[in-house]
Amino acid sequence: MGTFSLDRWFEELESDNMVVILPLNGKIVLDSKQLGVDFPKDPADQLIAARPVIITHLF
């Protein structure tokens, strides 16, 4: 089992045409900490929930 490289992981994500990495700003970070005590404690889940996204797929 090899070592995990966060840099390499992001490089792979950014090279995948099916993945879009959305920017964060201070408001989103602050909002992520205001989701309430019942919301999961995982910071990634909090940031995702605090980042409102509208995605339109054309089929």
**36 inside domain:** yes
Radius of gyration of the chain (CA): 15
pLDDT of residue 38: 94
Give the whole-angstrom CA distance, residue 51 versus residue 38.
Answer: 18
Domain count, the chain: 1
- Owning domain of residue 29: 23-59
**54 inside domain:** yes
pLDDT of residue 15: 95
Q: Are 21 and 15 in contact (CB under 8 A)?
A: no
pLDDT of residue 56: 61
Per-10-residue mean pLDDT of the chain, 59 residues long, equals 85 91 89 92 92 63
**17 inside domain:** no
pLDDT of residue 23: 87
